[in-house]
Structure 1
Amino acid sequence: MNKCMLEMRNICKTYEDNGVVALYNASLFVRKGTVHALVGENGAGKTTMMKILCGIEKKNKGHIFLNGKELEPKSAKEAFKAGIGMVQQHFRLIEDFTVAENVVLGKERSGRFGFINRKKIIEDVARLSHESRLELDPELISANLSAGQRQKVEILRTLYRGADLIIFDEPTTVLTEQEIEELFKIMRTLKKHGKTIIFITHKLDEVFKISDEITILRRGKNIASGDINNFDREKISYLMVGEDIDFEKRASKGIKKEAVFKVEDLCIKGRDDLVDEVKGVSFEIAKGEILGIAGIAGNGQLQLVEALAGLKKVSSGKIMLKDREITNLKVREIRDAGLVYIPEDRMNEGASCESSILENIMATKYYKREFSQNGWIDRRKSYTFANKLIKKYEIKASSPFVKLGMLSGGNIQKVIIAREFSSEPEVLIVCEPTWGLDVRSTKFVYDSLCEMRADGKAILLVSSNLDEVLYLADRILVMYKGELVASLENSKELTKSLIGEYMMGLHSKERSEVW
């Protein structure tokens, strides 16, 4: 039996500025050479616990032991020195740097007279890449990498710093099925080489694919832990939220023929204004339909939805909402026409983390007659409305005046979803709606989208989670290199593997029988 590498005993953490108790006597025991899953609802304390371990946050009480010795990391640098590394869910690469430059950043080895030996860096990273089975050209520019390749860079950076305990925080969020399988192969290889892994995820199917043991947190406390073979999906789900969650798929009530949203031969140029990043895209969405778009990040989905929402200029083509053309209108004009947009980058584009929950919710409504008279905002009505949404969407916050940045990532996503769902749109464009959300919150979002579909709303769903697309969408489009390469009816015969093949360009448009 492997001995315990990491012991986190009775960890307590209370945030003084808002009085939130993030952890209360929470413990974690991880055996050497295992993959240990850490799961729980949004706000359960998972990220806080890992930040304490990595020296980013300070605990109020408790003890940490690494390889039998007590550890009190005061910074991420000290944690790295002790052999602890974290692969973040948000990749932090410098786009203009090569793979090698990103890997060694901050730990560059210099030669004589203090000059950095670029050739030696490339050799070191190439060797590490080969030994760890993370095959990657060290001279590739990071801006040109896929999501899976970017994650490899993050892992290589952690290994380069000598980490023996590696934390993966929601690592499969933006990966295709093929890339997820590749990641799990890498994790198994790391484990075989003696590395120990803590795996944070909301995808319970993945827990059973890769984990040896599991710890479940709820509201900052330990609920259960042990060998993964002693648990099943339903048991973990129940322990996480304290109730049974039924994910039985809701059948569509039948799509109405009337198309409410049309995109015709849309082209969008890139930054250089020379090459089209979106090339001749056409589709329509009917009332009461969810249309899914699948594709590996960087294949034009982002440019497409930004143009539809008024954030990017269309170079040619037409966008129609009902009988009105909205091509290249201003954002507020598009919103007032009945289209709302939930971006995938919730931190930079979907919200203002320095503003309160109230201010974020009212950002798209403050000027409307319901909340404003003669240029003055009715603060009482605004407060009542925000409070109502906080309760309805189960946003974990003490009041609407709490700064958004103090919330967990999942709760920030809930605020954005609450703001947009409450706008009563005709067309809803939603990107990665459940990214970082727990089981209960995910079910709530799915039910809300299905209710909007039943109410006759047209929904465009852009998601890298193929389980999500298959669960929600009536039809699925696949984008590759700025083009639509497949239009697939969502049936029992449609597999994630087939969609993934289209996403990776293994089938051409001409080979798709559904065009």
Structure 2
Amino acid sequence: MTSSGQAPEAADGRAPSAVVLSGITKRFPGVVANSDVELVVEQGEVHALCGENGAGKSTLMKILYGMQQPDEGTIEINGEQVRFKSPSDAIAAGIGMVHQHFMLADNLTVLENVVLGAEGLHGIGRKARARINELAGQTGLHVDLSLPVELLGVADRQRVEILKVLYRGARIVILDEPTAVLVPQEVDELFATLRGMQRQGFTFLFISHKLDEVRAIADTVTVIRRGTTVGRADPKTISSRQLAELMVGSQLPSPESRESTVTDREVLRVVGLNLRDERSDRMLLADLDLTVRAGEVLGIAGVEGNGQVELVETLMGVRKATSGQVLLGERDLTGEDTLTRRAAGIGYVPEDRTRHGLLLGEPLWANRILGHQTRRPVTRGPWLDIDGARKDTERIVGQFDVRTPNIDVAVAALSGGNQQKLVVGRELSGDPVLLIASHPTRGVDVGAQAGIWEHIKQARGQGLAVLLISADLDELIGLSDTIKVMLRGRLVADADPRDVTPEDLGAAMTGAGTESGQDDGRTAAEDDEDRER
């Protein structure tokens, strides 16, 4: 391989394939994660990799990126066989990976994030800045290098992540669920960037569960199921339904709820909710009023970073409201702590299951206890009931199709989709009256997604009130009875799921779909003040 990462010319004059994985097999105790996988990615193409959670995609990409070594099989990069012992080896070979959960330091600037760990390339000053600006001009990934990352929106953060790998010399870029947190307009911008980079010879491995987007951007699709390659397809000639059948053996599921089950009984009522950030003296939530009724799914749409996290944390008691009320039925929970709120009947599916929903090193049955440690069946009087927790975990595993060897394995051994099904199953246990579901199907495959949708719809039909926060606009439209749009910590618009489109919602979420000066009730001076901060 040449030092620049460019492919050498083959004897017949054609460039060799960018990536060739042959016979890749990887075993873990009791599990074969990859079995004889074949993957060929040509130079300058966008190659999509699709499959269920647990199908082996993550393991395969970790092998390609040097995070794990295969037990069998070979890797060729630009026509040369390689063996990566670490990600550093993969980076040196011109491979970069943009993870689904961004690996950025919020308190550092864009420049500092890009050069962090790669200071030896161009230093940390003028030369580094010049090189990043050169890459940004070349690819269209423009972002203010002096801004702290914490001030960036999600699309800009993604640009920073891509710049990071390009700065290190990547010509082959792995994108793991790159559109999971983007609104439709941002997806269009990302795809335009990828196509422009394609024309300059960059190669992309695109991992996604959004099959319509796969068909829109990919040149080739490889599908793996249960750890092995089951098909290779041309996205121009295969339908989303056929792709889903290749992935899971069934048609593409729909989140749509056909019949309304909304009642007049108010379950959650939020009145005049305000939350001020004491450090910046900035309003994170302003004058929020909302009501969720029994049998209703109320969806919250918004570009990430517009107050959704703060709303959920305030409702759960993680943050203390500056003013306003949180009422569950007739009970005022405004001053209560998180455990009291959960004991009152609030189920909670957090947006990041690994950080806020699970203890990865603990077995499934121990994770069943989390957040329910004052209630049956996991307690008996003042004591934990381990037998009760184990029996109910077995019930959840069966009822929610959590695929696991047994309930004694560590949660970390489960795929992301099965981890999420465990969390959803736990939170729908104990007859909650309200479920706060934050991105309940983020990063799960179409099979697990369909199962989670069905359980939420069944619980809704039995009278559960659901507050749904999701970046998947099709999910939001399909599951919700009512949708509210959140912008800069305020609820700025309502939408009817029966006739709103993802494009309409995306416009409202960015403020583009509102009349000038009336988007969120804020003054221009307040907007200018926020930008200065």
**Counterpart position of 1:6:** 19
Q: Distance in 1 between matches of 2:496 and 2:207?
A: 33
2:105 is matched by which residue type in structure 1? Answer: I
Instruction: Output one character per residue of 1:78-105: Cα deviation in whole Å (capped at 9) or x when no partner.
Output: 0000111111000011112111111111
Q: 1:99 aligns with which of 85, 110, 117?
A: 110
Pair 1:54-2:60 in alignment: no
Q: 1:499 aligns with which of 502, 505, 523?
A: 505
**Counterpart position of 1:418:** 425
Partner SS state of residue 354, structure 2: coil
2:59 is matched by which residue type in structure 1? Answer: T
Partner SS state of residue 398, structure 1: coil
Once the 2 structures are TM-superposed, how far is the Cα of residue 264 of structure 1 from its aligned partner?
A: 0.3
**Counterpart position of 2:236:** 229
Mark the runs of 5 or more structure 2 residues left unpaired by the alignment. 1-13, 521-533
Q: Distance in 2 between matches of 1:246 and 1:101?
A: 43
Contact 2:377-2:389 within 8 A present in 1 as well: no
Pair 1:88-2:99 in alignment: yes
Q: 2:397 aligns with which of 376, 390, 397?
A: 390
1:436 is matched by which residue type in structure 2? Answer: G
**Counterpart position of 1:25:** 36
Partner SS state of residue 125, structure 1: helix
Once the 2 structures are TM-superposed, how far is the Cα of residue 117 of structure 1 from its aligned partner?
A: 4.9
Partner SS state of residue 461, structure 1: strand
Q: Distance in 2 between matches of 1:477 and 1:396?
A: 35
Once the 2 structures are TM-superposed, how far is the Cα of residue 248 of structure 1 from its aligned partner?
A: 7.0
1:327 is matched by which residue type in structure 2? Answer: T
Q: Distance in 2 between matches of 1:205 and 1:461?
A: 23
Distance 1:329 1:76, change over 3 A: same
Pair 1:206-2:213 in alignment: yes
Once the 2 structures are TM-superposed, how far is the Cα of residue 470 of structure 1 from its aligned partner?
A: 0.7
Contact 2:301-2:485 within 8 A present in 1 as well: yes
Partner SS state of residue 423, structure 1: coil
Partner SS state of residue 234, structure 1: helix
Q: Distance in 2 between matches of 1:189 and 1:218?
A: 31
Once the 2 structures are TM-superposed, how far is the Cα of residue 245 of structure 1 from its aligned partner?
A: 4.4
Once the 2 structures are TM-superposed, how far is the Cα of residue 142 of structure 1 from its aligned partner?
A: 0.6
Partner SS state of residue 50, structure 2: strand
Q: 1:142 aligns with which of 144, 149, 160?
A: 149
Once the 2 structures are TM-superposed, how far is the Cα of residue 228 of structure 1 from its aligned partner?
A: 2.1
TM-score normalised by structure 2 residue count: 0.91
Once the 2 structures are TM-superposed, how far is the Cα of residue 179 of structure 1 from its aligned partner?
A: 1.0
Contact 2:261-2:463 within 8 A present in 1 as well: no
Q: Distance in 2 between matches of 1:512 and 1:505?
A: 6
Pair 1:400-2:407 in alignment: yes
Instruction: Output one character per residue of 1:43-77: Cα deviation in whole Å (capped at 9) or x when no partner.
Output: 00001000001000111111111112111100000
Q: Distance in 1 between matches of 2:234 and 2:275?
A: 51
Q: Distance in 1 between matches of 2:450 and 2:138?
A: 41
Aligned 1:28-427 pairs, distance under 5 A:
28-109=39-120, 116-247=123-254, 249-272=256-279, 274-427=281-434
Mark the runs of 5 or more structure 1 residues left unpaired by the alignment. none
Q: Distance in 2 between matches of 1:201 and 1:424?
A: 34
Once the 2 structures are TM-superposed, how far is the Cα of residue 2 of structure 1 from its aligned partner?
A: 6.9
Instruction: Output one character per residue of 1:223-246: Cα deviation in whole Å (capped at 9) or x when no partner.
Output: 101322342111111111123344
Deviates more, 1:334-343 or 1:502-511: 502-511
Partner SS state of residue 348, structure 1: helix
Contact 1:58-1:74 within 8 A present in 2 as well: yes
**Counterpart position of 2:446:** 439
2:431 is matched by which residue type in structure 1? Answer: E
Task: Quote the RMSD (CA, aligned, Å).
Answer: 1.9
Q: Distance in 1 between matches of 2:113 and 2:441?
A: 29
Distance 1:248 1:357, change over 3 A: closer
Contact 1:6-1:31 within 8 A present in 2 as well: yes
Instruction: Output one character per residue of 1:228-274: Cα deviation in whole Å (capped at 9) or x when no partner.
Output: 23421111111111233442722133421222210000001225172
Distance 1:439 1:505, change over 3 A: same
Contact 1:122-1:139 within 8 A present in 2 as well: no
Contact 1:99-1:153 within 8 A present in 2 as well: yes
Q: Percent identity?
A: 36
**Counterpart position of 1:473:** 480
Once the 2 structures are TM-superposed, how far is the Cα of residue 366 of structure 1 from its aligned partner?
A: 4.0
Q: Distance in 1 between matches of 2:429 and 2:164?
A: 42
Distance 1:390 1:36, change over 3 A: same
2:303 is matched by which residue type in structure 1? Answer: I
1:6 is matched by which residue type in structure 2? Answer: V
Once the 2 structures are TM-superposed, how far is the Cα of residue 511 of structure 1 from its aligned partner?
A: 5.2
Once the 2 structures are TM-superposed, how far is the Cα of residue 368 of structure 1 from its aligned partner?
A: 2.5
Contact 2:240-2:252 within 8 A present in 1 as well: no
Q: Distance in 1 between matches of 2:23 and 2:310?
A: 47
Q: Distance in 1 between matches of 2:188 and 2:93?
A: 30
Q: Distance in 1 between matches of 2:203 and 2:280?
A: 47
2:101 is matched by which residue type in structure 1? Answer: H
Instruction: Output one character per residue of 1:346-366: Cα deviation in whole Å (capped at 9) or x when no partner.
Output: 111111112221111122334
Contact 2:255-2:479 within 8 A present in 1 as well: no
TM-score normalised by structure 1 residue count: 0.94
Contact 1:486-1:509 within 8 A present in 2 as well: no
Instruction: Output one character per residue of 1:200-222: Cα deviation in whole Å (capped at 9) or x when no partner.
Output: 00000101110010111110011
2:103 is matched by which residue type in structure 1? Answer: R
Distance 1:426 1:510, change over 3 A: farther
1:164 is matched by which residue type in structure 2? Answer: R
Contact 2:273-2:285 within 8 A present in 1 as well: yes
**Counterpart position of 2:529:** none
Distance 1:109 1:377, change over 3 A: closer
Distance 1:451 1:351, change over 3 A: same
Q: Distance in 1 between matches of 2:278 and 2:39?
A: 47
1:168 is matched by which residue type in structure 2? Answer: L
Distance 1:54 1:265, change over 3 A: same
Instruction: Output one character per residue of 1:404-449: Cα deviation in whole Å (capped at 9) or x when no partner.
Output: 1222222222221111012321111100000011111111111111
